[in-house]
Amino acid sequence: MLRKKEVVYRNILERYFKGHETRFTQLELSRRFGFSLSTVSNALAPLRSMGAITVKHNGFELSDPKKALLYFATVRSLEKDIIYSTRLEAPPREIERLVPSGAVFTAYSAFRLIYKDAPADYSEVYIYLPGSGLGEAKKRFPPSSRPPNIFVLEADPFIGKNAVSAPHLFADLWNIRSWYAKEFLEALEMRLFP
């Protein structure tokens, strides 16, 4: 599950890339997520020190979205959120059709869903599920000793539906080792920063 500071970064970046929102307040972020003001302040400290945000008298401004996105990607740890992995001998599209309801796609599947395109072939499927959906995932995708091609990650309560947002997708792709992750990441970066 994303750490609280990652939830803060994701929200700021989602709002920027969706509606070019650049002005925020710590109090609003604190209330939105039920986090303490000190948690929000601590999350913002590295962004402030690197110049990604500028503190104003009544809040702060996102002054360098690319720097903030890259920081989010580097502090994100995808591997720590994997709660189950297995293998199913099926093409990715078939696996995607079999995921439990309530699953939120990330990585290659999310890119394809969001942009109706895939810059490369892929063979792995990554999904976020709440812990309550893990039993159903294990029924549909039984354990296997072969190298995994299905990765289930623990979802946070603020993740959204169907597919992760573009900033979240960027951070997740940044953390995947597959050779084709780089192709997806470059294609996403071109869409985010044309």
Average pLDDT over residues 59-66: 97
Copy the structure tokens of residue 102: 């309530």
In a shared domain, residues 65 and 155:
no
Task: Show which of 45, 75, 105 is a domain's final residue.
Answer: 75
In a shared domain, residues 94 and 149:
yes
In a shared domain, residues 108 and 49:
no
In a shared domain, residues 84 and 177:
yes
Question: Is pLDDT at 43 greater than 90 in this prediction?
Answer: yes
In a shared domain, residues 174 and 141:
yes
In a shared domain, residues 95 and 178:
yes
What pLDDT is recorded for position 57?
84
What pLDDT is recorded for position 141?
98
Report the CATH number that the domain containing residue 29 is assigned in CATH: 1.10.10.10
HEC string for the chain? CCCHHHHHHHHHHHHHHHHCCCEECHHHHHHHHCCCHHHHHHHHHHHHHCCCEEEECCEEEECCHHHHHHHHHHHCCCHHHEEEEECCCCCHHHHHHHCCCCCEEEHHHHHHHHHCCCCCCCCCEEEEECHHHHHHHHHHCCCCCCCCCEEEEECCCCCCCCECCHHHHHHHHHCCCCHHHHHHHHHHHHHHCC
What pLDDT is recorded for position 126?
98
User: Rounded to an integer, what distance in angstroms lies between the CA atom of residue 23 and that of residue 142?
Assistant: 46
Question: Can you tell me which residue has the tokens 């892929």?
Answer: 122
In a shared domain, residues 20 and 112:
no
Closest CA to 47 of 8, 97, 92, 89: 8
In a shared domain, residues 45 and 115:
no
Closest CA to 62 of 81, 76, 48: 48
pLDDT digits (tens, 9 = 90+) for 130-168: 888 999 999 999 999 999 999 999 999 999 899 999 999
Task: Show which of 75, 97, 116 is a domain's final residue.
Answer: 75
In a shared domain, residues 179 and 88:
yes
The answer to whether 131 and 154 are in contact (CB under 8 A) is yes
In a shared domain, residues 62 and 95:
no
The answer to whether 14 and 70 are in contact (CB under 8 A) is no
In a shared domain, residues 114 and 176:
yes
What pLDDT is recorded for position 131?
82
* Tally of structural domains, the chain: 2
Q: In terms of residue numbers, what domain contains 123?
A: 79-192
The answer to whether 149 and 122 are in contact (CB under 8 A) is no
In a shared domain, residues 90 and 174:
yes
